[in-house]
Amino acid sequence: MQEKTIEIEGVSPVDLLGVNEQKLKLIRTYFPKLKIISRGNIIKVVGEPDVIEAFEKKLTLLINHLIDFNALTENNIETLMVKETEAIPFKDFGDTIVHGNGGNLIKARTANQRKLVKASMENDMVFAVGPAGTGKTYTAVALAVRALKNKEVKRIILTRPAVEAGENLGFLPGDMKEKLDPYVQPLFDGLRDMIPTEKLLEYIENGVIEIAPLAFMRGRTLDKAFVILDEAQNTTVNQMKMFLTRMGRDAKFVITGDQTQIDLPKNQKSGLISAVELLKDVEGIEIVELNGNDVIRHKLVKRIIEAYNQD
């Protein structure tokens, strides 16, 4: 007989073993000769060495499935336990970009969103330009999460200029993090849909996911990262140039913005408008334009956009 301690890493023990260990009870039925005890993120197993080894392999499959699909049902467990291969064959989910929390499928839902996904796969730098509600930022975040899960990049960096209509960082209460929270909330919202909260906080704490104001990008070289510049219409020409030239090896850049919602002083040209004009014919860069047909918020948003466009 042998005793071994296994530490659960990369996933929540509750997601893996179930509330009140309901999933663990099912797992135990496949290993009747093992004594399996869980405490927090530690599993202790007692039994013959070959049975313990088999249990470890199956546990790894369960953890990997949970990481890949953000869900682990009892049906999944039963399939993995009886399957002789090391993974469930990938099912073609069509326009699915990534599996969100609870197994929800995060998909490209419009023609231009699909075009954005394709452009990002084929180019290292993509501009996604269009009005509010067209899913520019959300799709970009999903692409970044997919790249991180697939180990195509080592980190995600999300940035945006600290410029808002009628607001100024200096007038907001709190320290720098508290000042920035309202600016990065849309980015957090997307991440929370796609990465379990506990894992997301771990990523942020360890620097795997970094959210920072655009000014903090100066002087850096961004290697092996998926970098999203959001609200790019509020960059100056110099800021945009500074950001674009931060691109390092094995990096992916997606720049999103709405050219109709510029909050810069009247005498300053938007860095987004300038970049789109200058870079539209540069090989390796693609510009994807979204429009009212891509609006996926409330149906009134599309009508509001149309009304403003007619004004």
Q: pLDDT tens-digit profile of 25-40?
A: 999 999 998 999 999 8
Contact 135, 296 (CB under 8 A): yes
Task: For the chain, give every domain's residue range.
Answer: 2-82, 96-310
Q: How confident is the model at residue 175 (pLDDT cuts 50, 70, 90)?
A: very low
At 99, the amino acid letter reads: H
pLDDT of residue 224: 93
Mean pLDDT of 234-252: 93
Phi and psi (nearest 5°) for 136?
-60, -55
Grade residue 88 by pLDDT with cuts at 50, 70 and 90. Answer: very low
Task: Say whether domain 96-310 belongs to CATH 3.40.50.300.
Answer: yes
Query: Exposed (0-12), middle (13-18) or buried (19+): which is 308, by Cβ within 10 Å?
Result: exposed
| pLDDT tens by residue, 176-231 | 445 445 666 777 788 888 888 888 888 888 989 988 888 888 888 889 999 999 99
Q: Which helix (H) or strand (E) holds 145?
A: helix 136-149
Q: What is the pLDDT of residues 10-28, one digit of tens each?
A: 788 888 999 889 999 999 9
- Asked if 187 and 141 count as a contact pair (C-beta separation under 8 A), the reply is yes
**Residue, of 268 and 102, whose pLDDT is higher:** 268
What mean pLDDT is reported for the chain? Answer: 83
pTM score, whole prediction: 0.67
Fold held by 2-82: Ribosomal Protein S8; Chain: A, domain 1 (3.30.1370)
pLDDT in tens, 91-130: 434 568 888 787 778 888 888 898 999 999 999 999 999 9
